[in-house]
Every structure is written in structure tokens, then in C-alpha cells.
Amino acid sequence: MSHPSHFLLPFVSLPRNTKFVLLFLLLASAMVSMLCLISGLFLLAPDIHFFSSTPSEQDANRQISLTTIGRLSCVTEAGCVLSDTSQLNFLVVGDIGGLPVFPYYSYAQTKVARAMAKTGRRHRTHFVVNVGDNFYFNGVQNALDGRFEDSFEEIYDQPELLVPWYTIAGNHDHLGNVTAQLARTDFSSRWTFPRLFYKVRLSFDGLSPPSAVRVDLLMLDTVVLCGNTVDVQGDSLFSWLFAQKREPNGPSAEHRQLAAQQWASIEQQMRRSDADYLFVVGHYPIHSVSEHGSFACLRWLDSLLHSHGANAYFSGHDHTLQHIRFGAAPSEDAKGTIAEDRHIHYIVSGAASRTNRSAKHIEAKTCREDVPKEALLFRQTNNGECHLSKFNCKETTAQ
């Protein structure tokens, strides 16, 4: 076995000045290597954002913690509790996907982000519901994809938007690595997407515990239920030149088993829900007056909304803002009791990064899925915002 000093012989035998220069170079090289290593770590993960703050105890009780445990506590069966607040405020936003090329965001997207922050200043926002199509055109490749930074973290960085973003996938997200979007939950203080379909449960009004209000949000993957709207072979922009449109009338072969599991979960969650307010969230709209129109593949979901007394369905996909209201016809049971006429509110919020002015599905008489004019309470296409307070929608314009 060689003596350790043998490895130093080439260095020891050098003249003093040479040894000094060589030692200096070795130290400099070590420092450069360390800097490169540190820089490399930031280059590998440039989009990991962890926001910290020291709010007052009262503010902390009114907000959901941005830690992974805090955000996911609202996804447990017990849910999370917001005490010391008599109201729950959240934003519904969709199709935030930005651009597939530099700068990876659109002007409209930044404008909507400012409007969201402005709303958050007026009404303390507890969380954001993100209804999918998060990254145009082909989703992301991995949990550290630069698109998370360029199209999400840096766009919605206003203090009012530093809240949990409960997220689902859209059709464009399924063209990439949708599992990477789930994994991102562990690398962000806001992005919260634990599973393809899950439930968010919250309680508030700690000022009067006996009258605490419970809210359930069922976060669904309608792409799994209905299939994608397009077949694209490859993940480059050029592949879209050969893309073929697809009628989303049922799950793809790879998603049939998962779709069956999700339908069973939906029925179970709705049947068991004891919430005062039940909201259901999906990317595809059940009813829409715009370009894509209503989705026939979601008729069964619509019937479940009515039979289980859901209050509203939030969606995107069509790049507009819409408020549609349909009522369930009064029904009489075996005892002759007439049930009250309940309305379900259908909110389409898909204009977060681009808009579409189409209104071709307003009583066109050519499709049974068209929406009657009297059911459409609100439609906005130019980056407006819709405030839903006690289910009354009014228009304001994003400046």
C-alpha cells in the first residue's frame, strides 16, 4: 500500500515560488468549484418559491398556512378551520396557461393578475381555485420545469395572491407530464395539486361556533372523465401542425379505469357531504354559450349536481367569463311534499390569459346543448371580473 505522502511528492519537490502559485491556484479552483456547485443548485431549481411571513395571531387564524401541511390540511376529511372570520373569500380563475414561447406569459395574463390582486386588497382572499389549462400548449415536463416560474410564480407574485392555489388539470396539461404538476405541490408554497381529483373542505365563522359554516369543493378531472379535445403526437410546437380535433365524449382507453373510480368517488362524496355549501370544480363546462359550448359528456355530472343539491359548478376551457343559472323543477315526493325550486350556478372563468368573443351557443336552435338566453345572467370577454356574492353576479372591469 502506498504511503499517503507519496501522493504529495510531485508538489513537495517543486520550488517554493511555484508551490505558492500552485497552492493559490488550487484554492481558487476550489472556490470556483464551490460557486459553480451553488449556482448549479439554483439553476436546477430556479422556480422553487417558499414565502414566509410573520402575521399577527389574528391574521394567522384567518388565513390558511402556506406550509405544505397547512395547505393540505384543507384536503383531509376533517378539513381546515378559519376562525375569527365571518366570511370566506376565494377567487376562481382558469386557463392561466400563458404562452409556449418566450416570455411564457401574455399581456392579458398580467392584466388579470393585477385585477386579482386589486380584488384581494378589497376582500381578503383566503385561497384561489384554479380550474386548469395551466401551461399552454403541452403542459410541463417535470416538477422543476421553468414554466412554473415564468408562467405562474412570477406572474402572480402580488402579496394578495400569496395564498394556496387549489388546482386541477385541463386538456392542455394532460398533453404533458400531468404527474409533474402533482409533484410540484411539494416545491411551492402556493401551488396545491395533490391528486387528479380531490376534495377541499373548510369551515369558517369562528365568531359564533354554533353557526360555523362548512364548505366543500370537489375538485374533478373532467379530461379523465370525457377525454381530450385534441390528439397531438409529440410535445413540440410543430406537432400541433398535425393535431386532430377530438370529440370529448368519453374517457380514453388509458383512463377508463381511472374514470370509473372518479365517478364512484364523485357520487360518494356528494352523498356524504354535510356541507352548507357544495361547489364542484372541473375544467370542461357543463353549460357554456361560447366557442366550445356545453359538454354532453357531463350530463350525468349535471344530474348529480341537482340530485345532491350542489350550489355551483366552476369551470374554464372557454376563454370567457360567464354566469349561467338553471333551476331544478319543483318535485313532489310520496307524501305530497313539494321540494323548493333550487338553482345551480354555472360559473365559467377561462379568460385568465386570453379571451374569445364567441357566443355561438346562445339558442342557436341547432344544438340541444345551447343555453337559453334567460339562463345567461352575465358574459364578459374583455378581461373583466365577476363578483359572486350570495350568488348575485355583477360586472366590473379590470383596469
Most confident among 3-12, 32-41, 371-380 (mean pLDDT)? 371-380
Q: pLDDT category, 35, cuts 50, 70, 90?
A: very low
**Model-wide pTM > 0.85:** no
pLDDT of residue 332: 55
**Mean pLDDT score, 349-367:** 75
Residues 6+ apart with CB under 8 A from 128: 90, 91, 92, 93, 116, 161, 163, 164, 165, 166
- Band of residue 21 on the pLDDT scale cut at 50, 70, 90: very low
Indicate whether 247 pLDDT > 70.
yes
Burial 270-283 (b: 16+ CB within 10 A, else e): beebebeebbbbbb
- Strand pairing category for 343-349 and 321-327: antiparallel
- At 207, is the pLDDT very low, low, confident or very high (cuts 50, 70, 90)? low
Residue 281 above 60 pLDDT?
yes
The pLDDT of residue 62 is 64
pLDDT at 18: 43
In the CATH scheme, what is the code of domain 57-397? Answer: 3.60.21.10
Q: Please, what is the average pLDDT of the chain?
A: 79
pLDDT at 163: 97
Give me the mean pLDDT over the 140-158 stretch. Answer: 97
- For residue 126, give the nearest of 76, 152, 160 by alpha carbon: 160
d(CA 364, CA 391): 27
Neighbour count for residue 19 (Cβ, 10 Å): 13
Tell whether the model's pLDDT for residue 101 goes beyond 60. yes
Tell me the domain boundaries of the chain. 9-44, 57-397
> How many other β-carbons are positioned within 10 Å of the β-carbon of residue 92?
21
Is 373 within 8 Å of 312 (Cβ atoms)? no
* Model pLDDT for residues 305-329, shown as the tens digit of each residue: 999 999 999 999 999 999 999 875 5
pLDDT higher at 171 or 83: 171
Model confidence at 274: pLDDT above 80 = yes
Digit-coded pLDDT (tens) for 164-202: 999 999 999 999 999 999 999 999 999 999 999 999 999
Q: In what order do the strands lie in the sheet with 321-327?
A: 80-82, 198-204, 213-219, 277-281, 312-315, 343-349, 321-327, 376-380
